């Protein structure tokens, strides 16, 4: 299997060059540096490994209110810094950043956009403000709406796409982990940059996992200014197991986004606690899992399911 090394001041000085040279099954090793590139990775079965996430940075700066060369605004789904379109891709020891700035100034600005299955992101930093990580595919209604606007290959439907984030840090403020895929966050730091919402799932009704947080720490500033999740579409699912919250998380925990979605959304919690032992009273549409129900939410079970 071919290995390509990316290093500033070398012949292969950017990731786009490395991705042209790499074969499926190969590895890209990235030396420390800031790589200002907008990347769409269509190859499958590859690894991209940095030296350390603090100093090995993939960054770009497109944002929703920016005018595209076609004369229209970028919209959320053209703003990504890095898109993973292939399957079986592994990222390790990298920062993936959208540096555009706060949503109240620029609108949505995605750092990582996924449209593949069996993706693994470990020891990485995902950093933006509003809409940091989009977990594709798009909901059905948006795939229809964006015909002729987004490229056809980005309007695909994916059944039970699986993405694992391990020992990583995710930074944002409003709906900064959102989408329709099954995504599991294990041992991650989830850092809110200000008031907002952490997760905004649009999970299909027949998908079992949605956005699941295992043994994650939720950090932020201020008191009770952030919701754990709100359903971007009906049946959106978010699960929080053995998590540790700072006091920026609201006592009620969850928001229904709009009237009626509380009747279909699937928000679950198990053995979670606030850092100072604060008691909390959640919304009445949150379900507390039993020990038996909690058992299915493991990395092994997560990757064994595929529709």
Residue 275's pLDDT is 85
- Asked whether the predicted pLDDT for residue 307 surpasses 70, the reply is no
Positive or negative torsion for Cα 130, 136, 141, 143:
positive
Task: Give the domain ranges of the chain.
Answer: 24-304
Q: 24-304 — its CATH code?
A: 2.160.20.10
Average pLDDT, the chain: 96
Residue 130 CB partners (closer than 8 Å, separation 6+)? 102, 103, 107, 108, 109, 172, 173, 174, 175, 176, 196
Residue 1's pLDDT is 79
278: confidence class by pLDDT, cuts 50, 70, 90 = confident
Q: Dmax over Cα atoms in the chain, in whole Å?
A: 59
Nearest residue to 285 (alpha-carbon basis) of 259, 257, 265, 270: 265
CA 237 to chain centre: 14
Three-class SS of residue 273?
A: strand
pLDDT for 35-88, tens place per residue? 999 999 999 999 999 999 999 999 999 999 999 999 999 999 999 999 999 999
In whole angstroms, what is the distance from residue 156 CA to residue 140 CA? Answer: 10
Residue 306's pLDDT is 61
Residue 294's pLDDT is 96
Q: Percent of the chain beyond pLDDT 90?
A: 96
pLDDT for 117-138, tens place per residue? 999 999 999 999 999 999 999 9
Bridge partners, residue 41, by sequence: 84
Residue 304's pLDDT is 85
- Asked whether the predicted pLDDT for residue 219 surpasses 80, the reply is yes
In whole angstroms, what is the distance from residue 137 CA to residue 154 CA? Answer: 8
Residue 62 CB partners (closer than 8 Å, separation 6+)? 38, 74, 78, 79, 80, 81, 98, 100, 109
pLDDT for 169-184, tens place per residue? 999 999 999 999 999 9
- Asked whether the predicted pLDDT for residue 218 surpasses 60, the reply is yes
Residue ranges of E strands in 80-230:
82-84, 90-92, 95-98, 112-114, 119-122, 125-127, 133-135, 162-166, 169-179, 182-186, 189-201, 211-214, 217-219, 226-229
């Amino acid at each position: 299997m071919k290995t390509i090394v990316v290093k500033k001041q070398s012949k292969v000085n950017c990731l786009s060059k490395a991705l042209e040279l790499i074969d499926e099954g190969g590895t890209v090793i990235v030396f420390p540096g800031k790589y200002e590139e907008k990347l769409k990775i269509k190859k499958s079965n590859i690894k991209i490994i940095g030296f350390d996430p603090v100093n090995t940075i993939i960054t770009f700066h497109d944002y929703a209110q920016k005018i595209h060369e076609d004369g229209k605004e970028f919209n959320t789904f053209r703003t990504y810094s890095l898109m993973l379109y292939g399957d079986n891709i592994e990222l390790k020891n990298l920062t993936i950043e959208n540096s555009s700035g706060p949503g109240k100034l620029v609108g949505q600005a995605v750092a990582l956009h996924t449209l593949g299955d069996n993706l693994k992101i470990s020891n990485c930093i995902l950093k933006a403000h509003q809409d940091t990580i989009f977990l594709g595919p798009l909901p059905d209604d948006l795939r229809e709406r964006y015909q002729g606007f987004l490229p056809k290959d980005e309007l695909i439907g994916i059944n039970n796409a699986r993405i694992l984030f391990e020992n990583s840090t995710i930074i944002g403020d409003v709906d900064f982990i959102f989408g329709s895929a099954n995504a599991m966050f294990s041992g991650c730091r989830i850092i809110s940059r200000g008031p907002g919402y952490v997760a905004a799932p649009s999970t299909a009704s027949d998908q079992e996992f949605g956005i699941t947080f295992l043994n994650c720490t939720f950090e932020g500033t201020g008191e009770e200014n952030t919701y754990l999740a709100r359903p971007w579409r009906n049946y959106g699912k978010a699960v929080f197991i053995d998590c540790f919250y700072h006091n920026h998380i609201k006592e009620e925990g969850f928001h229904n986004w709009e009237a009626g979605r509380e009747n279909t959304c699937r928000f679950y919690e198990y053995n979670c606690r606030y850092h100072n032992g604060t008691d909390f009273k959640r919304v009445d549409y949150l379900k507390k899992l039993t020990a038996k129900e909690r058992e299915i939410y493991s990395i092994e079970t997560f990757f064994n399911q595929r529709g």
